Amino acid sequence: MTQHSTKDFQAADAQHYLHPFTDFKDLASKGSRIITKAEGAYIYTNDGQKLLDGMSGLWCCNLGYTQPAINKAVADQMNELPYYNSFFQCSHPAAIELSKELASVSPAHMNNVFYTNSGSEGNDTVLRLVRRYWDLKKQPNKRVIISRENAYHGSTVAAASLGGMSYVHNQFGKLPNIEHVAQPYWFKEGGELSREEFGVQAAKALEDKILELGVENVAAFIAEPIQGAGGVIIPPETYWPEVQKILNKYDILFVSDEVIFGFGRTGKWFGCDYYGTKPDLINFAKAVTNGFQPLGGVMIGDKVADVLKSDGGEFAHGFTYSGHPAACAAALATIKIMKDENIVDKVANDLGPYFGKRMAELSDHPMVGEVRTLGMVGAIELVKNKETRERYDSDGTAGATCRDASIANDLVMRATGDNMIIAPPLTLTHEQIDELVTKAKAALDQAYETLQ
Ligand code: PLP
């Protein structure tokens, strides 16, 4: 790639490149951060700043940036069979092998996969699968999918409709037959209730909604095991068991959107394994290829797969790049590394507990209302007053200030409102976790001073 000065890159970037989820005017005035190199857990800017990547790219490079076995697998596949499709009764070894591997790491009742290129396309696929299932079951009136407020499910029209972020709906509206219920966000919405009581109450909101809509109209419930982009909202322990009971009681399909929490982040292969839920569909993407190739998909439980594979006829859905050979090769190499290096166990028994312990030390900081962690993910919730949980005046200001301070201290943290989000590679050493916490503390100090 041609090297340019950062100013030249920024000027061309602002002139020609419309970035996702970006205020274009703001970007043009401030200039983008140009990343030119990555190694291990670090990224480097065009100006040579080295930053510890506390976000694994965009929650995807779970094994860090240096994984030569994945690069080689992709290169070998490109030399052997760079492309072929899976339409018209064609297939190829990489997609077949990967489908077997995915069945081996996902819950026992999940033995089929439909490939997409992204998490958003996965959720479009979810919508199609859910409708198809109930049509084939001769219950075509079951149309409504219930999701949650503040959920993020992606950016195609269907995925954005399933998402529960009001500022997204305000720009684009949403598809019909999608409803939202309260999220289990105890710190913000729990009031005087204990965590446990609030978890049960949040689950009850789902039951109330099912009854309000009529069981005969409700097709599915979709949720992330932990809301990720919404602020790493780790639900109270009581939430998921109650939700699962409700879904069983009314025979509602359950879609676990594991685009962030699939592939080890919680210390289990999937978030549903961590919480002991039993989804009918799992949407995955991101870390399946360590972010090195675009690949997503939906794992389909036997209950749904059996119906689709019976006398359903053609499932009229698919993408040119469904099961792209190079992406499948990247995923196979990623899963092999995860297995060979016991990444999931390491997160559960070593890195996760150490990360949790070190992060908890930040709770004492004067602007920290709560530190939440689970496995290798965490959030630091910023408040103006620790006792009353009063927030800074305009939601997001403290977060943006802290994010900028974090970058200045050579650490990538993401801000969602006033939550600082951290989801570092699962390959960090203890020393790198120490480094992350030290830098996060420096960012908090700096932000606190700025906001006084
Ligand atoms: N679902 C969840 C839970 C996500 O976090 C995301 C992206 O962050 C998506 C879906 C959309 O995935 P993609 O950006 O690959 O379309």
Q: Does position 1 have pLDDT exceeding 80, yes or no?
A: no
Mean pLDDT of 15-38: 96
Ligand 1, closest atom to CA 257?
Answer: 3
What's the pLDDT score for residue 394? 76
Tens of pLDDT, residue by residue over 142-197, are 999 999 999 999 999 999 999 999 999 999 899 999 999 999 999 999 999 999 99
Q: Does position 333 have pLDDT exceeding 90, yes or no?
A: yes
Sorting pLDDT into bands at 50, 70 and 90, what band is 24?
very high
Mean pLDDT of 427-431: 98
Q: 285: Cβ below 6 Å to ligand 1?
A: yes
Tens of pLDDT, residue by residue over 210-235, are 999 999 999 999 999 999 999 999 99
59, 61, 116, 120, best to mutate for ligand 1 pocket (most atoms within 8 Å of CB):
120
Q: Does position 311 have pLDDT exceeding 90, yes or no?
A: no
Give this complex's ipTM.
0.99
Q: Does position 3 have pLDDT exceeding 90, yes or no?
A: no
Considering the entire predicted model, what is its pTM? Answer: 0.97
Ligand 1, closest atom to CA 285?
Answer: 15
What's the pLDDT score for residue 269? 98
Q: 226: Cβ below 6 Å to ligand 1?
A: no
d(CA 114, ligand 1 centre) in Å: 16
Mean pLDDT of 379-403: 92
Q: 255: Cβ below 6 Å to ligand 1?
A: no
Of the chain, the percentage scoring pLDDT greater than 70 comes to 100
Tokens found for residue 44? 């480097």
What's the pLDDT score for residue 312? 81
Sorting pLDDT into bands at 50, 70 and 90, what band is 67?
very high
